[in-house]
Chain A
Amino acid sequence: MILLKDVTKVFKQKNKTIYACNDINLAIESNQIFGLIGPNGAGKTTTLRLISTLMAPTKGKIDVNGHDTIKEQDTIRAQIGFLSSDMTLPSNYTPRELLLFFGRLNNLKNEILSKRISEIVEQLNLSQYIDVLTQKLSTGNKQKTLIAISIIHNPEIVIFDEPTNGLDLFAAQSVLKIIKKMRDDGKTVILSTHNLAIAERTCNNIAFINKGKIVETNDVQSLKKKYDKSLEDIYLDII
């Protein structure tokens, strides 16, 4: 379970103070796909960076499976896989080399690691590209490789920030299939997106975020029932 208690993140730029997250309270249950939905600049990426220990909150507290994101960073990092929309693959490596490196970094023994690589590669349909240099991969295969890296250590929590950005319909569908499979395997997936159709089809629970504040959160069915509208219309109403 992930708990955000009164979380605020402030950025200071010259004379300006920007509240990227403003007093956020959230409880994300395990074994589900949790959608964080909001427009550009709403605070989605900052919230995900705070959960993944990349940033520290200015105020408030975040617990990931009972561990504090400030005091127990290593323990949390071992339990999460993070993929941000602005991450790219380093050049001059093959997906296999990168998976071996990140697997070893996460203390996976060689035997377990090679088994895990085979599993993921098959799952993501990457077998024929596993030894191709990353700069020669298509956008879809690059994204699949990034996903593979983020889950190589079999984390319990996976955080995906706009994972279908820039992908064609087929590549996006295969990424979403993988996300659903993760949930079915008992993982917690936090999915940030501004694509309402994807959120409606994929997520169990949703939080709408705008100007650093959570404006609404509930499970998808309850939200639709409460507002008697599609997610897209709810979004347009409350954001």
Chain B
Amino acid sequence: MKDSILLFKKEMIAIFRDKRLILTITLIPFIFIPAIFYFNGIGQGTKPIKNFIIAYNEKVPFVSFLQQYNFQTVKIIDKSNALKFDAWDVFIYSSKEDTLLKIYVNAAKSSSGGIIKTMERYYLSFRGVYIRDQLKSMKIPINKVIPQTVKIVRINENKNSIVSFLLPFFILIYLFSNAIGVGLDSIAGEKERNTLQLLLVNRISRESILFGKLFSTMTVSLTGAIFSILGLLVLYVFKIIPNAGSTLLNVTPANFTLFAVIIITLDMLVVSILIIISSYSRTVKEGQGYILPVYFIILILGMAVMNPDSSIVSNFANWPFINSLLSMQNILNGDIHVGYIIWTIASNILFTIIILKAATVLFNRESVIFRK
């Protein structure tokens, strides 16, 4: 272990000197999730908006109602011109022939979902006010017509939030993508550059070399995962997505510890896969060829787990990677299944040991180390 720590420290010197790598493992994960949330409006789809312009042909009571709430409105006479949506996003058309009020929304606009939500909400409100006023004028008490008023109260707002699905997926991606470069370079790269022999001829066991490389690669990939979580907290601090950070902040310290242990053991598994591929490969390029299919499988699994109710996920819930992602989702949602989490951690450790054992066998083979 002493030799592994020595090698780990040496590897870290080179890693910290590589400014491009440092930027890749810190800045990119830090800004990537906030950027995705911000530019795609993830989590904002149902949020009503008010900054749009409403055109109308007749000042019907609903238009007057909207004007009371300071919506920007503009009167248009010609219906065909109104549907070109030159400077407005909504056109309220009132026909003299029938009583139907048509509300046209420019669906080409990215915020059309929010506009429709707003229009529906204000129309419901308008209808309520209108009915109440009509009943009042007819001297009919409102509770004769509507026996109860309804108020919808949101609870468990953080459960099944988009963050609880996306964050585990992004953590897995960062663990993998950040480790690929360093992990492949750590052995295959050294073989390619002929620097590995310097180590092999010294008094350090092959196991110690593998562990030293494992620790340094793990540090790099974990840094990326930590920065992606920090990026998410930034969303919360700057109120870009109020829900985003609160999902994390609502996790108790005990559960957060479990979350961290899952990430660390998942990282061990990810990096051990890279280490065995790196041990076998003659060059980094060859290693990339082997890792790419593995990476795609992990990506597909990660995406499948975003829909935890799917049959694929429930059939393979005990498998590595899937169990880690599901356990992380559960912790973020506050659904703690201790047995499942223990199995997840144990399986990550077990598979890591098996893979590292196989890597050691490979690494001890002359035909692999001196393969040309």
On A, residues with C-beta under 8 Å from B are 52-56, 74, 77-78, 80, 82, 84, 86-93, 97, 101-102, 104-107, 133, 146, 149
CA distance in complex: A97, B201 (Å): 18
Assess A87 versus B13: contact at CB under 8 Å? Given A77-B203, A105-B6: no
What would be 9 A-B contacts, judged by CB atoms less than 8 Å apart?
A53-B201, A77-B201, A77-B202, A90-B14, A97-B10, A102-B198, A104-B6, A105-B202, A107-B203
* Min distance, Cβ B363 to any Cβ of chain A, angstroms: 13
Query: Does residue B194 face the partner (Cβ distance < 8 Å to A)?
Result: yes
Q: Is the CB of B10 within 8 A of A101?
A: yes
* Min distance, Cβ A135 to any Cβ of chain B, angstroms: 10
Q: Is the CB of A52 within 8 A of B201?
A: yes
User: Which B residues lie within 8 Å of A56 (CB)?
Assistant: 366
Please report whether the interface of chain B is mostly helix, strand, loop or mixed according to DSSP: helix
User: Which B residues lie within 8 Å of A80 (CB)?
Assistant: 201
User: Which A residues lie within 8 Å of B10 (CB)?
Assistant: 93, 97, 101
Please report whether the interface of chain A is mostly helix, strand, loop or mixed according to DSSP: loop
Which of A56, A91, A105 has the largest number of chain B CB atoms within 10 A? A105
Query: Does residue B110 face the partner (Cβ distance < 8 Å to A)?
Result: no
On B, residues with C-beta under 8 Å from A are 3, 6-7, 10, 13-14, 17-18, 190, 193-195, 197-198, 200-204, 366, 370
Cβ contact of A54, chosen from B7, B13, B190, B197, cutoff 8 A: B197
* Min distance, Cβ B349 to any Cβ of chain A, angstroms: 28
Q: Is the CB of B203 within 8 A of A149?
A: no
Cβ contact of A92, chosen from B13, B194, B203, cutoff 8 A: B13
* Min distance, Cβ A137 to any Cβ of chain B, angstroms: 14
CA distance in complex: A78, B201 (Å): 9
User: Which B residues lie within 8 Å of A107 (CB)?
Assistant: 203
| B201 nearest CB neighbor, chain A only | A82
CA distance in complex: A17, B366 (Å): 16
| A100 nearest CB neighbor, chain B only | B10
Q: Is the CB of A87 within 8 A of B198?
A: yes
